[in-house]
Chain A
Amino acid sequence: MAEDDQLLYLDYAASTPVDPWVAEAMSALMTADGNYANPSSTHAAGRRSVEYIGHAAGQIAGLLNTDVDRLIWTSGATESNNLAILGAARYRRERGRHLITMRTEHKAVTDPFSELQKQGFEVTWLDPEESGLLDIAKLETAMREDTQLVSVMHVNNETGVTQDIEHLGATCRERDILFHVDAAQSVGKLPIDLAAVPVDLMSMTAHKVYGPKGIGALYIADRPGVHVEPLLYGGGQQRRLRPGTLPAQQIVGFGTAAAIAQSRMTDDIKHLSKLRDRFWSGVADIPGVMTNGAIECAFPGILNISVAGIEGESLLLALEPLCVATGSACNSKSQEPSYVLRALGRSDDLAQSAIRFSFGRPTTAADVDFAIARYRKAVEQLRSIAPGRAA
């Protein structure tokens, strides 16, 4: 951290540092002594760029057990989600205009669905159970003859709750309904076997898994009826689904990050589980503290907790120098409580007091102990000055 090396970063669900190997691989494609050519060029240097991209695609395809030609490069998960949702809904609009998603999805999913509503599509918004999980029976009840697309995220970005995409996907597949998964928080962190899991469209991004920002991908299954209309028009790159010059260095960074993630995923999960459990055991005895989303079905890199009687914004400031995320909806002016946590049944006050701690490869047990001490002290301080309502 440039400004203050005392800061303790516990916001790995927001972004991760680029792995040094990733940075090295990317550097080789950016400078004059490297291979910086446009991969659309037909000369030798351009063809070499294509080879680099092909290698990176193979690394990501290997991570997910799929074919390289199933991947469309994008600028990140937001674009992938938009391409999947808007593109698939529009491609299949003559078959039906009913779509299903959850209220706890990321804005990059809910906003495209809201946009489709304005364009005449009908959207069913499913609430999760208190655990954060989607009840498959609810999904089945919501499905109709004209349902064309279901979108459910794999790992929730706020709570870490991990949906059973295998069963959800199978439920969709039985009815020939497309199943899209926002896997921004899970690709490279949890095992995903696309040869076995019935997913039609999957969004992913590099910067959540120690790759660079600005690059992501959309997986499109090789199955009849699975297709998207493009959002952009221009050159003919990527089968005209997402035209534009391919950023070879970004793609190589993503590929390298994927290969690293694959090689160390088991160790990463163990590491994160230990940290998450250590943190929770260090704060669980604070009166009024609770997890948001069931911890037993959550990705271990994310722990979201609320505490009764504490104002969220003050808690966040009192937690400095911890770099963590609040439960608020990224709007410091409105301080709106998180719609995700409200959908889980949390009151406004509890949702507003929510803090998301997310751990990463560089996080140590000592970091966690420091964070525990800081959290306990902040809660104690704020409670000591709170009037009767909150104390």
Chain B
Amino acid sequence: MSTDPYSARVRELFCAPAHAGELDSPLRVAADDQGVRIELSAEVAAGEVRALRFLAWGCPHVIASAEAFCADFEGRPVAELLEFSASDLMQSLAVPVEKTGRILVIEDAVRSLGNTVRDASTSSD
């Protein structure tokens, strides 16, 4: 039985968060709860998420989850942002259940980003 609180994937993402940072884009949101703060910024074009970046203050599971989300969502339809669920992320990274609340802060941020993208798209139509 492993005594390591972090899965190999969490360690990998935490150590090399390639999507950490900010984009020069008006599409940005923040979520702050459970002692976690997440900021997301995005570039979209033709209904597709072209680029994502995050800033995070939280535990390794939060940072790894934010990185995993950004890496996974680039290239996907913007509509999927509104359907994002943290449960898949938690399962794939083996995040312990007691950290659910923290990972849900990412879910809040992603859905907020989806709303922001949708609103921006509506106003530009």
Determine the chain A residues whose CB is within 8 A of the CB of B38 once the complex forms. 387
B21 within 8 A of A: yes
B69 within 8 A of A: no
Complex interface residues of chain B between 1 and 54 (CB less than 8 A to chain A): 5-6, 11, 14, 17, 20-21, 30, 32, 37-39, 54
The distance in angstroms between the C-alpha atoms of A389 and B38, with both chains bound, is 10
- A311, A317, A335, A385: which contacts B21 (Cβ < 8 A)? A385
B63 within 8 A of A: yes
Chain A 357-391 interface 0/1 with B at a Cβ cutoff of 8 Å (1 = within): 00000000000000000000000000011111110
- B14, B20, B32: which contacts A317 (Cβ < 8 A)? B14
The distance in angstroms between the C-alpha atoms of A333 and B102, with both chains bound, is 12
The distance in angstroms between the C-alpha atoms of A386 and B5, with both chains bound, is 22
Judging by beta carbons under 8 Å apart, are A313 and B57 in contact? Answer: no
Judging by beta carbons under 8 Å apart, are A311 and B59 in contact? Answer: yes
Distance (whole angstroms) from the CB of A176 to the closest CB of chain B: 48
Judging by beta carbons under 8 Å apart, are B14 and A387 in contact? Answer: no
Determine the chain B residues whose CB is within 8 A of the CB of A141 once the complex forms. none
The distance in angstroms between the C-alpha atoms of A384 and B53, with both chains bound, is 13
B82 within 8 A of A: no
Known A333-B98, A387-B39; judge A311-B17 contact (CB<8 A).
no
Complex interface residues of chain B between 77 and 122 (CB less than 8 A to chain A): 96, 98
Distance (whole angstroms) from the CB of A321 to the closest CB of chain B: 12
Known A314-B14, A317-B14, A333-B98; judge A385-B5 contact (CB<8 A).
no
Judging by beta carbons under 8 Å apart, are B56 and A387 in contact? Answer: yes
The distance in angstroms between the C-alpha atoms of A386 and B63, with both chains bound, is 10
Q: Chain A's interface: helix, strand, loop or mixed, by majority?
A: loop
Judging by beta carbons under 8 Å apart, are B55 and A387 in contact? Answer: yes
The distance in angstroms between the C-alpha atoms of A385 and B32, with both chains bound, is 15
- B20, B30, B32: which contacts A384 (Cβ < 8 A)? B20
Distance (whole angstroms) from the CB of A14 to the closest CB of chain B: 16
By the criterion of a CB under 8 Å from any partner CB, how many residues of chain B are at the interface? Answer: 22
Judging by beta carbons under 8 Å apart, are A313 and B59 in contact? Answer: yes
Judging by beta carbons under 8 Å apart, are A385 and B20 in contact? Answer: yes
- B30, B59, B96: which contacts A387 (Cβ < 8 A)? B30
Determine the chain B residues whose CB is within 8 A of the CB of A318 once the complex forms. 14
The distance in angstroms between the C-alpha atoms of A120 and B50, with both chains bound, is 67
Determine the chain B residues whose CB is within 8 A of the CB of A317 once the complex forms. 6, 11, 14, 60
The distance in angstroms between the C-alpha atoms of A60 and B61, with both chains bound, is 47
| Residue of A313, A335, A390 contacting most chain B CB atoms (<10 Å) | A313
The distance in angstroms between the C-alpha atoms of A384 and B38, with both chains bound, is 13
The distance in angstroms between the C-alpha atoms of A333 and B38, with both chains bound, is 21
The distance in angstroms between the C-alpha atoms of A387 and B66, with both chains bound, is 13
Q: List the B residue with the shortest CB-CB distance to A333.
A: B98
Distance (whole angstroms) from the CB of A383 to the closest CB of chain B: 10
Q: List the A residue with the shortest CB-CB distance to B32.
A: A389
Determine the chain A residues whose CB is within 8 A of the CB of B14 once the complex forms. 314, 317-318
Distance (whole angstroms) from the CB of B1 to the closest CB of chain A: 14
Judging by beta carbons under 8 Å apart, are B21 and A314 in contact? Answer: no
- A314, A384, A386: which contacts B59 (Cβ < 8 A)? A314
The distance in angstroms between the C-alpha atoms of A387 and B98, with both chains bound, is 24
- A333, A385, A388, A389: which contacts B17 (Cβ < 8 A)? A385
Distance (whole angstroms) from the CB of A323 to the closest CB of chain B: 14
Q: List the A residue with the shortest CB-CB distance to B97.
A: A333
Determine the chain B residues whose CB is within 8 A of the CB of A281 once the complex forms. none
Judging by beta carbons under 8 Å apart, are A313 and B56 in contact? Answer: no
A119 within 8 A of B: no
- B5, B55, B57: which contacts A311 (Cβ < 8 A)? B57
The distance in angstroms between the C-alpha atoms of A106 and B98, with both chains bound, is 26
Besides A335-B59, A386-B56, 16 other A-B contacts (C-beta < 8 A): A311-B57, A314-B58, A314-B59, A314-B63, A317-B6, A332-B5, A333-B98, A385-B21, A385-B54, A385-B56, A386-B55, A386-B57, A387-B39, A387-B57, A388-B39, A390-B57
Can you name 15 A-B residue pairings with CB atoms under 8 Å?
Answer: A311-B57, A314-B63, A317-B6, A317-B11, A335-B59, A385-B17, A385-B56, A386-B37, A386-B55, A386-B57, A387-B39, A387-B55, A387-B56, A388-B39, A389-B37
On B, residues with C-beta under 8 Å from A are 5-6, 11, 14, 17, 20-21, 30, 32, 37-39, 54-60, 63, 96, 98
Closest 8 CB pairs of A and B: A385-B20, A387-B55, A313-B59, A387-B39, A390-B57, A317-B60, A386-B57, A333-B98
